[in-house]
């Protein structure tokens, strides 16, 4: 009996001690707030899924700003009505945070393509600064974990936008090896999409790259509407580029459907390069990350000098490059694969598939 009472007494003492320590353990260390205010502005507060938006980021440092000795990344989370993060736009601020000074305002713009999610409605934009597991305390309303409420916007269904019909010249979409959540699609030498004529000015967004070293001469891309109006882009390297092209309603004409064509001056087959790049036997031209067409009047204010007006174009004349490549004739020395920019993807079906529907991921 004595042993039983001693055991119960010991348990009581331990429980009381744990209860006394619990409040102290649960108290969080106060967040040290730096004199930095983050703000976010978007060119249209209501945007369809899959569309392009123009974002303006502003970081303002006050007189009590404490020098940041590291280059932090901007945390940008788009959170749904259930406080679940739908997507993000994390990036390196411009200029780097280690160069920031007190009493300054740093502003820059970015283009964001809204992913396609099974969600429409209001989203909250949260901002912050982080480096690995460390986050910086900012001025403003903390939504938790040093993520600060910056703005709100509304996601609309895709039916509120221009729908693209992918026709010939496209391979199947595939995931980027460096970012499995990012989808991209290779074209052949030429690729065609169509869209219903809004009979209003439109802006075409194209984000793409290619394997620059796989071409025997400088690659050139012509983006044309009805094979008459557009622009020609001389591709300088294997880096991703973004083009924004305004096409006037008069250039769209009166037809119900409009053809939008992407034409490369050459193409290549990775397997037939000398030496071979890999075993991919597809004809490849351009690697497209995003292709979007929107009515200019609905897109809000666009960054100046970033939109090019379409003019008369002549699509590149057919060359013998693709035929020579297919026959196994050397067209250009191939560099060793160095990631997504050089390594062509594995063979895939020729019929394009609809974009994947990513699953919303939890907040960092």
Q: Is residue 49 part of a domain?
A: yes
146: pLDDT strictly greater than 80 = yes
Same domain, 278 and 181: yes
- Do the Cβ atoms of 298 and 200 come closer than 8 Å? no
Domains in the chain, number: 2
Q: Is residue 336 part of a domain?
A: no
Same domain, 177 and 280: yes
Same domain, 322 and 183: yes
Nearest to 204 by CA among 309, 56, 335, 108: 309
pLDDT digits (tens, 9 = 90+) for 291-329: 999 999 999 999 888 999 999 998 665 444 443 443 333
Picking from 159, 185, 203, the residue at the C-terminal end of a domain is 159
8 phi and psi, to 5 degrees? -65, -40
CA distance 275 to 124: 51
Same domain, 166 and 307: yes
359: pLDDT strictly greater than 60 = no
CA distance 219 to 187: 14
Same domain, 232 and 100: no
pLDDT digits (tens, 9 = 90+) for 173-224: 999 887 887 899 999 999 999 999 999 999 999 999 999 999 999 999 999 9
Picking from 102, 133, 159, the residue at the C-terminal end of a domain is 159
Q: How far is CA 23 from CA 13, 15, 16, in A?
A: 17, 13, 12
**If DSSP codes are grouped into helix, strand and coil, which group holds residue 264?**
strand
Picking from 138, 159, 180, the residue at the C-terminal end of a domain is 159
- Do the Cβ atoms of 178 and 185 come closer than 8 Å? no
Percent with pLDDT over 70 in the chain: 78
Lowest mean pLDDT among 222-226, 228-232, 254-258, 360-364: 360-364
CATH of the domain at 212: 2.60.120
Domain hosting residue 155, numbered range = 33-159
CB contact set of 287 (below 8 Å; sequence gap of 6+): 184, 185, 186, 187, 208, 209, 210, 211
Same domain, 148 and 58: yes
| Distance spanning both ends of the chain, measured CA to CA | 54
> How big is the CA angle at 89 (ends 125 and 135), to the nearest 5 degrees?
75
Please give the pLDDT value at position 15: 45
Percent with pLDDT over 90 in the chain: 73
pTM of the full structure: 0.79
């Amino acid at each position: 009996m004595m042993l039983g009472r001693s055991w119960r007494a010991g348990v009581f003492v331990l429980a009381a001690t744990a209860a006394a320590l619990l409040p102290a353990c649960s108290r969080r260390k106060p967040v040290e707030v730096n004199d930095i205010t983050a703000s976010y502005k978007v060119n249209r507060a209501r945007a369809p899924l899959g569309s392009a938006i123009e974002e303006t980021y502003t970081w303002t440092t006050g007189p009590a700003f404490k020098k940041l000795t590291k280059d932090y990344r901007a945390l940008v989370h788009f959170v749904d009505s259930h406080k679940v993060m739908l997507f993000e736009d994390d990036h390196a601020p411009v200029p780097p945070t280690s160069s920031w000074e007190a009493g300054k305002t740093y502003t820059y713009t970015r283009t964001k393509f809204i992913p396609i999610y099974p969600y429409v409605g209001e989203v909250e934009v949260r901002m912050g600064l982080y480096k690995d597991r460390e986050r910086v305390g900012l001025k403003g309303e903390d939504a938790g974990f040093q993520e600060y409420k910056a703005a709100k916007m509304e996601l609309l269904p895709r039916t509120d936008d221009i729908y693209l019909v992918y026709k010939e010249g496209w391979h199947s979409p595939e995931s980027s090896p460096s970012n499995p959540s990012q989808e991209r699609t290779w074209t052949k030498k030429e690729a065609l999409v169509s869209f219903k004529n809004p009979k209003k000015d439109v802006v075409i967004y194209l984000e793409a790259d290619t394997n620059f070293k796989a071409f025997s001469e400088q690659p050139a891309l012509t983006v044309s509407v009805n094979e008459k109006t557009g622009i020609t882009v001389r591709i300088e390297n294997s880096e991703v580029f973004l083009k924004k092209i305004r096409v006037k309603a008069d250039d769209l004409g009166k037809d119900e459907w409009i053809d939008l064509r992407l034409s490369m001056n050459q193409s290549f087959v990775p397997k037939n390069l000398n030496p071979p790049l890999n075993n991919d036997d597809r004809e490849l031209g351009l690697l497209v990350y995003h292709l979007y067409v929107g009515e200019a009047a609905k897109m809000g204010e666009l960054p100046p000098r970033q939109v090019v007006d379409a003019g008369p174009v002549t699509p590149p004349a057919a060359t013998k490059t693709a035929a020579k490549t297919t026959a196994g004739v050397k067209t250009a020395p191939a560099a060793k694969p160095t990631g997504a920019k050089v390594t062509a993807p594995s063979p895939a079906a020729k019929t394009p598939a609809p974009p994947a529907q990513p699953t919303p991921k939890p907040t960092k």
